[in-house]
Structure 1
Amino acid sequence: MSLDPDAQRVLDLIRLTGRPPFETLTPAEAREAYLAGRKALQPEPPEVAEARDLTLPGPAGAVPVRLFRGRNCPADVPAPTLVYYHGGGWVIGDLDTHDGICRHLANAARCRVLSVDYRLAPEQAFPAAVEDSLAVLRHAVSSDGAALGVDPARVAVGGDSAGGNLAAVAAIAARDEGIRLALQLLLYPGTDLGGQHPSYALDLSGFPLTSATMRWFVDHYAPSGADRTDWRASPLRAASLAGVAPAYVMTCGFDPLRDEGIAFADRLAMDGVRVWRVHHADQLHGFLTMGKVIRASAAALDMAAAALRLGFDAAAG
């Protein structure tokens, strides 16, 4: 399968602008470069019924979050809610870099989205991001979540890339804590920090995410080899996935994380979990945040939102 011509345009833009690979930058420089890329790659954020910033209690202090209420999502009744974890290799990304994704999903799924600004590595390495992610989820499904308009019986977790990793971890932790989730929405997720799956050998020179970039992220996030085998860092290595929430697993053809995402979907199915699998064979990692150039990103987000609606409806029933 050849690369989507729109995705090729992104590669051409990267080459023409001379943006250096993230692994050649400091984490602070990489964050600035990633945020700056929004202007060239992301469309104008869609209007939602409500968007507000607030903080929720976390294990190391307040965790910043952004709460979206989609159009056609009523303000005065508890609503289905997606707790969303942004991508960026646990090192880059924030509420602003993934604002557009969250707005799109809130509108298309007619729900609330609670976007989590978890602590980043290397300043706060593993398991800081996991701890913040779980703290926000626990708050959402508690009685305190009602103040945010959350229906605790219809809560899903989701994320892209590193955020997909955190969502998969949250789904396992939720099972172990007796929290019933409607869905885990895993968008080109990282599921195994070992970096040994065959897609790590893909020649992706000039792509936004290569195996070298991914190793740079992992080195910052989980510098200890022991941490990388912990299921909270590598959910594919969990002893069992039986009993976790139904899953929507989306993978891309031009992505070093492709095979571990597919392997995770396989493990879920083997352990008796309902799985929706979607593979965009002609797309590159990160295309969901490139909708200004890659037209397929909007359709892919609509598909994810449709799965969310099904998950919320099933949980309500």
Structure 2
Amino acid sequence: MKVTKFSIVLFAFCTLLMSCSDNDDNNNDYGRLSVKLTDAPFPHDLVAEANVTVFKVDARYKGNMEFDGQAIDSTSTNMTTENGKSFVVLMEEEVQVNLLELTNGVTQELVDLSVPVGTYDLIRVYVKGVNVILTDGTTFDLKVPSGSQSGIKVFIKPGLAVNGGLSSDLLLDFDISRSFVAKGNSKDLNSITGFNFKPVIKACNMSTAGTLMGLITESREEVPVGIEGAQVGVYIADTLNTSAFTDINGAYMIMGLEAGTYTVVTEKEGYIMQTSEDVKIQAANKTVLDFELLPEE
């Protein structure tokens, strides 16, 4: 009788173990992918809005289509094939964004869903309804060269690996200063006759990239006061990598910096420029770097 009970318990335990193993295998077929949009700094005082409408996002899938002998259901994952290459549709809905609002750490989430595990090396962003509104209310509607038909191609180097049961975060950095090119004198409101739209977007894998943030202040009666509009430049070997401008409180944030060592320079007209060398950026971490500027005599 004792042997019989032990056999029953052993059989139940083995059945439970096999069930858990099967569930884990199924979970490992999919991982979570998040895609967010932000804006590289655009120091243009004459522009009030730079609007785009994103209506579709897909990603090129480079991984193996089979896991443990079971083929991925392309219908459930909304996968398509083009010229022998597989694309996973990540989003198909209209999201209107004023890119000027996506600064200093503000992002717009475009995608957050489960996708097949594997490597993704290309994102395509489909846009329409692109326009620029000047501070005097003048609106310019811009032509989209290919973003509405074939999508704006954003290569991910190295490819983004999505692992089973884990989350992967991708940041799309929309460079307004290079994407919206003013016609005429860009420093004179009355001389601007329009804009050319030449989209430039950089993809950053947030698992291998870090964030630089801090405050730029000056001392007034021994009290630190934030400086608005100060420029923070991030350099690698004397080459400008990216930059940001402080907000009304003197705060700045630069996301998507690859892990490594940088030189950071902050400056504003009327103040003495300051430089900080050997600033270390760590993957998936935030580095805080503050500056106190002195007025020029």
TM-score, reference length from structure 2: 0.23
Per chain length, whose mean CA-contact separation is higher, i.e. which structure has more relative contact order (CA < 8 Å, sep 6+)?
A: 1
TM-score, reference length from structure 1: 0.22
- Relative to its length, the structure with more strand (as a share) is 2
- Relative to its length, the structure with more helix (as a share) is 1
